[in-house]
Amino acid sequence: MAAMRRLAPELLITAKTQRWSPEEFLRTLIDAEITAREESNARTRMRVAAFPVRKRLDEFDVAASSIPKATFDYLSSLEWIRAAENACFIGPAGTGKSHMLVALGVAAVEAGHRVRYFTAAELVETLYRALADNSVGRVIEGLLRHELIIIDELGFAPLDDTGAQLLFRFVAAAYERRSLGIGSHWPFESWGKFLPEHTTAVSLLDRLLHHCHTVVTNGDSYRMKQARRKGANTTK
Ligand SMILES: Nc1ncnc2c1ncn2[C@@H]1O[C@H](COP(=O)(O)OP(=O)(O)O)[C@@H](O)[C@H]1O
Ligand SMILES: [Mg+2]
């Protein structure tokens, strides 16, 4: 009721001078409280999401990327999150995978969803720690309170057998319940490179890809393009 308490004295004066009905006064006060709470909840969700950078969908130059406009629009609609489907961004460094994952995450938070960003290494480390005190199941259930869990940089570092098993357990638990947003520079057929057990790789991909929007980002690195453009400008 903090907003109500803060606003009440001033609002009371306005209500008196403008001869508001008691209903009108109360409704205004309650609306202010609801708005304040929603804003505070959104701020909390944004903090909990742990985005490494702040990126927005309207900052993404779709024409400069290999992502079809229709795919971009569909993903931006967040419909896939409501349907507990996945989105996988596959492509080389600097092609906008993390930008898209974070921007979709930010949009989801703003739309009222709970979101959590991890790099694959962070997620596996979290699960490893849970293994040490026998709480993997509980930790996974906790993570699945989020409607969208982002696993970025999958395949940067190879996983050991236990790490791969833990990742599989997580993906299997999220299957058809929650949305996963994946970023990897490895095409699916190369996932054996960082998932040591062939059967784990196959089972994991099976769950992941069943309801999945796969987006291949390719072309030149946006970072390199920007660097080149800067270079061209300074040599002019
Ligand atoms: N199509 C794009 N429009 C605007 N910025 C982009 C685009 N693609 C990449 N970037 C920017 O280039 C940088 C690298 O992109 P990033 O998403 O981190 O690449 P990746 O995760 O694929 O390695 C970021 O600063 C990102 O905001
Ligand atoms: Mg990235």
The pLDDT value given to residue 224: 74
Tell me phi and psi for residue 3, to 5 degrees: -65, -40
Residue 94 Cβ < 6 Å to ligand 1: yes
50-224 to CATH, choices 3.40.50.300, 2.40.40.20, 3.20.20.70, 3.30.460.10? 3.40.50.300
Residue 89 Cβ < 6 Å to ligand 1: no
Q: Looking at ligand 1, which atom is closest to the CA of residue 102?
A: 17
Q: pLDDT (tens digit, 9 = 90+) per residue, 127-173?
A: 999 999 999 999 999 999 999 999 999 999 899 999 999 999 999 99
Q: DSSP string covering 117-180, please?
A: EEEHHHHHHHHHHHHHTT-HHHHHHHHTTSSEEEEEEETSS---HHHHHHHHHHHHHHTTTSEE
**Domain spans in the chain, listed from the N-terminal domain onward:** 2-48, 50-224
CA quadruple 148, 154, 157, 160: dihedral positive or negative? positive
Q: pLDDT (tens digit, 9 = 90+) per residue, 3-40?
A: 899 989 999 999 999 999 999 999 999 999 998 888 88
Q: Looking at ligand 1, which atom is closest to the CA of residue 67?
A: 1
Tell me phi and psi for residue 75, to 5 degrees: -65, -40
Contacts of 39 (CB under 8 A, 6+ apart): none
Pocket test for ligand 1, best of 222, 223, 226 (most atoms within 8 A of CB): 222
Q: Give me the chain's average pLDDT, please.
A: 93
Gap from CA of 221 to ligand 2 centroid (Å): 11
Gap from CA of 48 to ligand 2 centroid (Å): 20
